[in-house]
Amino acid sequence: MDCKASATREDLEFILLNEDAQPKPLPLSLLADITSDFSDKNIIGRGGFGIVYKGFIGNRTVAVKRLLRVLHFDEDGFYREIKCLMKVKHQNVVRFLGYCNETRGEMAGFNGTLVMAQEEERLLCFQYLSKGGLNNYINADASSALEWEQCYRIINGVCQGLHQLHQHNILHMDLKPENILLGNDMVPKIADFGLSRRLHEDQSYVITKNLCGTRGYMAPEFIDSNPENRAITKKCDLYSLGVIIMELLTGTREQCAVNDVLDSWISRLGESKTNSEVTRI
């Protein structure tokens, strides 16, 4: 899948502006150009699998995820992520614009001589969402805390996005606030499909030997199952969703008493809401 792409800035801008346009292979030279050669000043996020940069096309912005060059890179996982991203288009799933997998040669010293080293670059390009991850609004101070209506819309949007994934038999496997991105309109979009799996039509689960996901968001039955025979199902995503909803409504990632949560919402909603009304909400 070494993509000898010829897409231009104009092609990428067209994909960005036209939601019906299909993602396409993008040349490394283009992605380097729009990120100022992957300048540190354009870094907007770091994770265990890569670094995310802002990319600029005229007066518009995209996000470019440059995957880390590691010795035992999960090639199948990279292709799997692309396939999942290309399969789903939904307002609550981050828009995928294109991908790059190029091999380039670079002279390097080896045993006292210069050799041509082959270096693979793998990148993904997405729409840019200016408000960042939902995690920024959990444990936030009063100025950043979300109102009830915003919480409801975000929860509803994440549910709609996850339902769409499951309709396409895609299991996300790393649903958490950091992987739910928000734009200026605060519409949530599920992102980061690096651990995702896709079921065949006749499958209800996938077996893995690996623990997939983030502690605190992984279903207990998945963690505690036989390490040689762990079943990944849609229920794993639903457990993660439940944790996210709880954290969003309580405003914290720590355990807290129900009465403390009610008192917090009463003060935030104002005196117009009685205790019983908040309880019903």
- DSSP 8-state symbol, 145: P
Instruction: Determine the 3-state secondary structure of 241 from DSSP.
Output: helix
Nearest to 98 by CA among 13, 197, 190, 184: 13
How confident is the model over 117-137, as pLDDT tens digits?
Answer: 777 899 999 999 999 999 999
How confident is the model over 138-196, as pLDDT tens digits?
Answer: 876 655 678 889 999 999 999 999 999 999 999 999 999 999 999 999 999 999 998 88
| pLDDT attached to residue 265 | 54
pTM as predicted:
0.83
Which are the catalytic amino acids? 174
**What residue type is 129 in one-letter code?**
L
**Which fold would CATH assign to domain 9-127?**
Phosphorylase Kinase; domain 1 (3.30.200)
Terminal-residue alpha carbon distance, the chain: 50
**Domain-wise residue ranges, the chain:** 9-127, 133-280
* Residue showing tokens 């917090």: 264
Whether 13 shows a pLDDT value over 60: the answer reads: yes
How confident is the model over 229-242, as pLDDT tens digits?
Answer: 788 899 999 999 99
> What is the C-alpha separation between 111 and 64, in angstroms, rounded?
35
Element (H, E) at 50: strand 50-57
How confident is the model over 46-92, as pLDDT tens digits?
Answer: 877 789 999 999 899 999 999 987 655 667 778 888 999 999 999 99
| pLDDT attached to residue 118 | 75
24 is in an annotated binding site: no
Task: Say which CATH architecture domain 133-280 belongs to.
Answer: Orthogonal Bundle (1.10)
* Residue showing tokens 């009463």: 266
> What is the C-alpha separation between 87 and 70, in angstroms, rounded?
27
- DSSP 8-state symbol, 81: H
Strand order of the β-sheet with 113-127 is 24-25, 96-110, 113-127, 60-67, 50-57, 43-46
